[in-house]
Structure 1
Amino acid sequence: MGSLHHYHRDGNYLACFWIGGQHQEAAGLTIGLDWKMGVAAKDWDSVAKKDKIEGVELELRKLEGSVEAIRKNLIYLKNREAEMREVSENTNARVAWFSLMSLGVCILVSVLQVAYLQLFFHKRKLI
Structure 2
Amino acid sequence: VPAERAGMAGGAVNTFRQLGYALGIAVFGTVLTARMTDTLPHDAAHGLAGGAAGALEGVFGEHALRAAFASGLNAAALTAGTVAAVAGVLVLVLVRAGRESRDTRATAAAQPAAAKEPAAPYRR
TM-score normalised by L of structure 1: 0.43
Q: How does the TM-score come out when normalised to structure 2?
A: 0.44
Which entry has the higher C-alpha Rg, 1 or 2? 1
Greater helix percent: which structure? 2
